[in-house]
Amino acid sequence: MFAMRITTLVVCTLCWITSYGLPAGAWAAEDILIADFEGDTYAPWKVEGEAFGSGPAQGTLPGQMDVRGFEGKRLVNSFLQGDRTTGKLTSPTFTIQRPWINFLIGGGQHQDQLVIKLLINGESVHTSSGPNNTAGGSEALDWDSWDVAKYVGQKGTIEILDQATGGWGHINVDQIVQSDQRRSVEPAARTLEITQRYLHLPVKNGAPKRRMKFTVAGQVVRDFEIEYAEAAADYVTLADVSAFQGKTLTVHVDKLPGGPAALMPITPSNEKPAAAEIYHEKLRPQFHFTSQRGWLNDPNGLVYANGKYHLFYQHNPYGWGWGNMHWGHAVSADLFHWEEMPESVYPAKFGDWAFSGSAVVDPANTTGFGEKRDGIETIIAAFTSTGRGECILTSRDNGLTWTELPENPVVKHQGRDPKLLWHAPTKKWVMALYDEFEGKQWITFHTSIDMRKWEFASRIEGYFECPDLFETKIQGTAEKRWVLYGADGKYATGQFDGKTFIPDGPKQQLWYGNFYAAQTYSNDPQGRIIQIGWGRDINFPGMPFNQQMVVPVELTLHKREGRIVMHAQPARELDGLRGNSRQTVSLSVSGGGSSSVSLVNSVPSRWKLDLQLNDARIVKLNMKGVPVVVDREKGLLTCHQMSAPIDVHEGKLSMEVLLDRGSMELFVNQGQSAFSIGGDVTSSPSTIEITADQDQVELSAEGHLLESIWKK
């Protein structure tokens, strides 16, 4: 028995060696290092140009995404001063002594301008480039290999070249070795019979991005990038394959260590991964919308239809970072208790992503495809197909499935982000678009009677991305104004005749901080202007989800000091989350002094604060570690180094503060200014502290705990 075990071990070991290309009976020799780039300089390599600097980079360079996958502490990284610099590295001559040269490579993809190359007698015999040639991507390095068996015994040199200056115009290289074994990754595939709803896909944040495709009967039905976990996963996401029930589906990966065996962790299931943990994660916001899995950004298609508020949004269902843009989907009866629906709009193909857009209903059926069927309103959406242009979709089942207009794309231009609205006086549909005509930033307006054929109407300069356009009443008057909004939170009031927007004056700003790409709801049953923005860069490290939406707010117009200004206050439905726990606070501080009080059960919560400043010029408030400074001489309120103008009447200032895991929102003087601030407020000191430079300052506050929107 003992002898048989030894024989089995030897046979298996020789099989393993043979599978890696070594002759039976031969053992792999130790790798020969060509360069590991761990020194302060590149010596004895020759350096030309600026891109590589005077020595290897210590990881990520300023302005660069996180560089991962290199070995040791340094690497070749030509992102020095960004993508505009160029240069070349040349190795000393070396003798080729092994059949393979292996190396780690990352950065941009350009087979002529961004390469590592092997030269024999001055002629290039092998070249490799990085993986990235489109926006997004990853700075992770991955193994590549050259078969140099026929050059063994000859002299060679290696060049690393960066002659590119546009996006992804840099190259990353590390750990160049000669070896008896190949290290490059190879294509892999696995075939499954689809009998369950989901495929569970393991994800490792920061791993090299793999191109994964699903094919059915030879046709590509899903195509995306994923930081696939080749070992331990950070979390597991899912792909909904219910549309392929009863069919044979093949999972393909463009390159993967370990071959098909590495795809075995992909698991069919009728349950979502870690279903019991969803919405119970440590950092999950308790009253802000977050997706169950993956990255989200811009809110899209905000429409009230068939008794529900629909929230579509930019979504990467396969990763924690931006990419693979789909439309995610959630519905709510009250703007807070959200039910996440299946993925709604899929990209037409890889690279032709479903970018931002809007949605409406057409109760008068002016389009000819907006009628109700079986009592269900048709939802009409517009989105940017990045490979085609602006496209129109219709859904007769509340966004579960969509039908494209045969006329798509209905508008082609240099831009994106269509906003649809009905202009009643002219009886036409309007599409507001971000446009880069002549290299500038514009909002353009197009009109149509049926959404199939659109005509250019006008453009206005100075707005960037995700336009919003709506008309609303000025509070306390019979007047109305149109509001034109850009992604950065800057807006203008003015007149709009269905073709041209004429502003009342310069743009103004309402929102500050982690806030971007907001949109307002069409068809609100109460006629309100309800806005939801993206809390940009509010990150949730270590979680299976990333980014959040800002709290829904009601927008109103007001006259103030000869101007028409917009206010934002939390949607009234937030009142429905108020819990039983309540705390009141009273603080008084004299000039030059400070005072503080502890908060009880402060997250998630809603606070209303009233400050009596008297003659104090500078008052500092610190709530849960977030500093707020009121400077009356400058007329500014500053929060996290962002300043907004304020009005202090009779020495009084009011604020409303919303505290959740991951963020604080601040509304000043009934929403004259609004701040969205990202940060882990759960770990910050549970106190309110106030200081003043002079005179007596008094603070009174009342806070209420809020119920979780995920509580069942």
Q: Which residues are catalytic?
A: 298
Contacts of 144 (CB under 8 A, 6+ apart): 102, 103, 104, 105, 128, 183, 184, 185
Contacts of 630 (CB under 8 A, 6+ apart): 611, 613, 618, 619, 620, 621, 636, 637, 646, 648, 653
Q: What's the one-letter identity of residue 452?
A: R
Report H helices in 414-556. Answer: none
Instruction: Dig out the tokens for 292 from the structure.
Output: 């169950």
Nearest to 672 by CA among 636, 698, 651, 646: 646
* 452: helix, strand or coil: coil
Are the CB atoms for 100 and 178 separated by under 8 Å? yes
Nearest to 145 by CA among 104, 110, 112, 93: 104
Cα-flanking dihedrals φ and ψ of residue 420, to 5°? -95, 140
Instruction: Dig out the tokens for 343 from the structure.
Output: 């993925």
Query: CA 228, CA 351: separation in Å to the nearest integer?
Result: 19
Query: CA 512, CA 671: separation in Å to the nearest integer?
Result: 12
Query: CA 137, CA 131: separation in Å to the nearest integer?
Result: 8
For residue 689, count other CB atoms closer than 10 A to its CB.
Answer: 18
Chain CA centroid to CA 73, Å: 29
Instruction: Dig out the tokens for 490 from the structure.
Output: 């800057």
C-alpha count within 13 angstroms, C-beta hemisphere, residue 15 = 6
The three-state DSSP-derived secondary structure of 309-373 is: EEEEEEEECCCCCCCCCEEEEEEECCCCCEEECCCCECCCECCECEEEEEEEECCCCCCCCCCCE
Are the CB atoms for 304 and 524 separated by under 8 Å? yes
Task: Evaluate the omega torsion of the peptide bond into residue 44 and state whether it is cis, within 30 degrees of 0.
Answer: yes
Query: CA 387, CA 671: separation in Å to the nearest integer?
Result: 40
The three-state DSSP-derived secondary structure of 157-222 is: EEEEEECCCCCCCCEEEEEEEEECCCCCCEEEEEEEECCCCEEEEEECCCCCCEEEEEEECCEEEE
Cα angle value 441/434/327 (rounded, 5°): 140
Are the CB atoms for 461 and 441 separated by under 8 Å? yes
Are the CB atoms for 611 and 651 separated by under 8 Å? no
C-alpha count within 13 angstroms, C-beta hemisphere, residue 527 = 3
For residue 308, list its beta bridge partners: 305
Nearest to 712 by CA among 278, 217, 81: 278
Cα-flanking dihedrals φ and ψ of residue 425, to 5°? -60, -35
